Structure 1
């Protein structure tokens, strides 16, 4: 099975993605497929400071509970509140309506995987 891996995003080995232009963060299509049906998402509050590669929340599915890690350091500027009522958006559209938060990035993105590197990791 092949998964969508947008070229314009950067990825953590733990399957989170970040859009370097908007600071928007979510989990990959591969990750949501591995998790199964997402039933709950716990996210930080707006204004919270995150450090790169530290936990910022939790995603719970019918199969597992997984920690979420920030691909960058910065301040949370927006949280996708639609996920509180409709966590299945993570499954339906992980790179669109299933985004999790937006970050005012204050770190470089060195050490993150390119789309090709991420594709190699999940093969």
Structure 2
């Protein structure tokens, strides 16, 4: 009788203990913890990114230093001279951060980042603001 009740319970749940454990293991293996990035940390990361792109160290990302010819970084070139200065890059990237910071608390969570990325793009990005980067 106890064995029959156990079998009915297991059948009713649709999974045996091994299947439940395998499903739990799969969920644990694909778990990505939420992230929180402060504006200061983001600015520091973007400064390092700029320094990596500015191979000659002159505080300007020139055409030949762009990651690719159709780089979205060109949108940061506010004065249209074909180059992105350190200040254009910094201001543009911090503008991008501020647009992702949906609740305006100075941090961007993984949820805010996903919400921002899933928004439809309704208007073109102004030249003096950062592009919507992947």
- TM-score relative to the length of structure 2: 0.21
Larger Rg: 2
Which structure is higher in RCO with an 8 Å CA cutoff and minimum separation 6?
1
Structure ranking higher in strand proportion:
1
Which structure dedicates a bigger proportion of its chain to helix? 2
